[in-house]
Structure 1
Amino acid sequence: MTSRIEEPSRDTLIEPVDQRIGRHFDVLLEARGYRADTAQRAAIAHLGQWLEAFLAGRKSWLRRTAAGVYLWGGVGRGKSFVMDAFFAAVPLKDKRRVHFHGFLAELQVRMRAHAGQPDPLALAARELAGEARLLCFDEFHVHDIGDAVLLGRLLKVMVEEGTGVVCTSNYHPDGLCPNPLYRERFKPAIALIEKRFDVLELDAGEDYRQRASILEDWGRHCWPISNFVEGEFERLLGLTSEALRDVPLMVNQHPMHLLAQEGQCAWLAFDELCRRPHSSADFLWLSQQFRHLAVSAVPCLGEEPIDVQQRFVNLVDIAYDSGLRLQLGSEASLAELCRDTPHMDFSRTHSRLQQLSQVRPAMNGHSVIR
């Protein structure tokens, strides 16, 4: 595979790749007013060194160059920030940075285009490998047999075709697929990661998302919703008297009901989104059609069945990754909402929900944002 290298500027004409990665990391840190910890600096240095060896095709009789880097650690440790800095500085035109749900949806579309041919998954994976010399995969995780089959074989083809893969995940490779019902099917993929990838832990022990200086405001959590004056929840979303009410839609060939819609704003009930069998593809469709999404009557999630929890986790992931502004309405505080939730991915969901502005009703009828 021949890669297209970006034309370097005069200042970076002879700059080694690993130094370029490190310099860009420092520039991004300064621009955002962050200070990196030792684990983050070690990760960016390792990524730079790996990329330089990978692009040069460097080999030794002791060990071939790793096929990729698997960067894992707890929520909020800066994995996505490190990935952002690394990806932006990579001097390749044929590079891609993808998120879990959107990428799997794309892979399935590509597979359907090869329907009727032998092994559509392998054909789709080779097609992707031919388009990208480097694939950066954020929030890598595996929770069902379909994902296990797709991701396991995809990684194998990418490595065979010579595409570099950099993943971030909350889990060590051995913890990616804990469900015993289909863990055996994913064991070869775990072995591939542990054998062919550099596995790095990024864990400085602090959830950086909770630092007041870097909290992102990507939406609101309104509670207790029954104490808000009539119409206040809709006003916060941006709905007016012109909004359409009780809107039936067909999404991916099955029905979805909106409580209200106006322009780029949509309001749905939790029951509609998470208690009905909607897929990640449905949530992706919502993220592509709207920029503001409200979900009302959100219950205490620890009391919900695991399939309902999984849909909520997927919804929050997709909304967060796509830049969708989210507004939740519930009776419970965030602590009550998330208490005793057994879902293995909920630490990431909880961290993201903590970045929502907390909106409480006030005596004068106007909500108070904290």
Structure 2
Amino acid sequence: MGSKMSLNLLKHYQKEVAEGQIQENPEQVHVLKVLDESWQQATKRSIFPWRRHALKSIHVYIYGSVGSGKTMMMDMFYQAIPGDKKARYHFHHFLEQIAQSLKALQGEKDPMKQIVKELAKQYQVVCLDEMMVQDVVQAMLLRELLPELMEQEVMLVLTSNIAPQDLYLNGLQRERFMTVIEHLQTYAHVMSLNLLTDYRSERLPMPEKTYLVQKDLLPLFKSYAKHMKQDIIFDTVLEVQNRQIPVKAITESMVWFDFENISEIPRCQRDYLEIASRFKMVFISQLRPFKESDSSSVILWIYLIDVFYDSHTKLVLESAANMEELYLQGPMAEPFKRTLSRMHEMQSQWYWDI
């Protein structure tokens, strides 16, 4: 019965290797085996719910260095799952939806239980990419959410650059967050996936014109507007999340911001999610290097890149510095490595062809 429920992930992986799309790696093979086995366990639980406590864990947590193939493994798994009882989110987008649902249920009894039960009705599998806990609000939300979610018949697959024991390291009230770490370590298959090569860096480089150092973006903005046959409105405001943001220029499918208006407080992740849903291309000028003390701006920039990357939003940047000089040191230096890698990927030809 198990073979009938298999997703045959290794067969698909070996086909990609044979075609030269990827290089075979034993660690990736192991991850795919665990994902396939966990899927089979999850399927058995749905068929034989009375056996759930006798079966192995169905949750998977994959962590490793930037470019090690974590997201590729998760996406290969997700695409192989039949039917529509599945969901894939960027981790922060998922938390944002949970927070909005909690707000809508404010005043009701056990709102988190209601939310989790509804998720369990809709999905058999939930994939969450790039787990990273950055503040006490996220930490306490996860403290309430994750144990409830892992108790349901929903298979969770999470990717992260960070091992479970290092999540929210040195964070405020971290002792209260430890229950999240304990649940991950106890109820999930935790696997490390570390490679020396960042596969995103090997992809085709983007055309040089999409990252400009101290050059005017206006000619490029005008050329894209002309190509798409769209009128330009200059020096206006854009309403996002019921707040006005100054913009240098806007068309039906493009918008141009100065850095200080898009990546500094009071901007938030909800703003980026709405912008990504409304525009195909985003131009940002006057991007400046981050200082060591610029943690809030760095976090917002990480959010921005993650949201735009996940939605395939095309990004054109003008900066006072080369990309590798944007953030040389500070408390967010480690997670910013992933952001740089994604920025490089977003400027490759294949990304622009999506």
- Shorter-chain TM-score tier: 0.7 to 0.9
Decide which of 234, 245, 250 is 1:245's aligned counterpart: 234
Decide which of 126, 130, 151 is 1:139's aligned counterpart: 130
What is the TM-score when the length of structure 2 is the normalising length? 0.88
Q: Which amino acid aligns with 2:42?
A: F
Identify the range of structure 1 (327-336 vs 290-299) with the bigger mean alpha-carbon deviation.
Answer: 327-336
Q: Which residue number corresponds to residue 362 of structure 1?
A: none
Alignment of 1:1-370 (within 5 A): 15-18=3-6, 20-29=8-17, 33-57=21-45, 64-211=55-202, 214-215=203-204, 217=206, 221-226=210-215, 228=216, 231-235=218-222, 238=225, 242-303=231-292, 305-343=294-332, 344-357=334-347
Following superposition, the deviation at residue 49 of structure 1 comes to 1.6
What's the secondary structure of 1:353's corresponding residue?
helix
Task: Check whether the contact 2:269–2:304 (CA below 8 A) recurs between aligned residues.
Answer: yes
Identify the range of structure 1 (234-243 vs 166-175) with the bigger mean alpha-carbon deviation.
Answer: 234-243
Q: Which residue number corresponds to residue 351 of structure 2?
A: none
| Aligned counterparts of 1:309 and 1:291: Cα–Cα separation in 2 | 23
Following superposition, the deviation at residue 276 of structure 1 comes to 2.9
Residues 62 and 254 of structure 1: CA distance in aligned 2, closer, same or farther (over 3 Å): closer
Q: Deviations over 1:134-173 (max 9, x none)?
A: 1111111111111112223221111222211111111100
Q: Which amino acid aligns with 1:272?
A: N
What's the secondary structure of 1:338's corresponding residue?
coil
| Aligned counterparts of 2:82 and 2:230: Cα–Cα separation in 1 | 51
| Aligned counterparts of 1:159 and 1:181: Cα–Cα separation in 2 | 24
RMSD: 2.8
Task: Check whether the contact 1:223–1:332 (CA below 8 A) recurs between aligned residues.
Answer: no
| Aligned counterparts of 2:209 and 2:27: Cα–Cα separation in 1 | 32
Q: Which residue number corresponds to residue 364 of structure 1?
A: none
Q: Which amino acid aligns with 1:51?
A: W
| Aligned counterparts of 1:126 and 1:61: Cα–Cα separation in 2 | 17
Task: Check whether the contact 1:237–1:294 (CA below 8 A) recurs between aligned residues.
Answer: no
What's the secondary structure of 1:115's corresponding residue?
coil
Q: Which amino acid aligns with 1:89?
A: A
Q: Which amino acid aligns with 1:71?
A: I
Residues 99 and 28 of structure 1: CA distance in aligned 2, closer, same or farther (over 3 Å): farther
Task: Check whether the contact 2:135–2:171 (CA below 8 A) recurs between aligned residues.
Answer: no
What's the secondary structure of 1:255's corresponding residue?
strand
| Aligned counterparts of 1:219 and 1:161: Cα–Cα separation in 2 | 48
What's the secondary structure of 2:102's corresponding residue?
helix
Q: Which amino acid aligns with 1:326?
A: L
Amino-acid identity (%) = 26
Task: Check whether the contact 2:135–2:172 (CA below 8 A) recurs between aligned residues.
Answer: no
Q: Which residue number corresponds to residue 352 of structure 2?
A: none
Following superposition, the deviation at residue 260 of structure 1 comes to 0.6
Following superposition, the deviation at residue 295 of structure 1 comes to 0.8
What is the TM-score when the length of structure 1 is the normalising length? 0.84
Residues 355 and 77 of structure 1: CA distance in aligned 2, closer, same or farther (over 3 Å): same
What's the secondary structure of 2:326's corresponding residue?
helix
Q: Which amino acid aligns with 2:12?
A: H
What's the secondary structure of 1:355's corresponding residue?
helix
Name whichever structure is richer in helix by fraction: 2
Task: Check whether the contact 1:269–1:296 (CA below 8 A) recurs between aligned residues.
Answer: yes
- Runs of 5+ in structure 2 lacking a partner? 349-354
Task: Check whether the contact 1:266–1:294 (CA below 8 A) recurs between aligned residues.
Answer: yes
Task: Check whether the contact 1:75–1:348 (CA below 8 A) recurs between aligned residues.
Answer: yes
Identify the range of structure 1 (346-355 vs 59-68) with the bigger mean alpha-carbon deviation.
Answer: 59-68
Residues 144 and 112 of structure 1: CA distance in aligned 2, closer, same or farther (over 3 Å): same
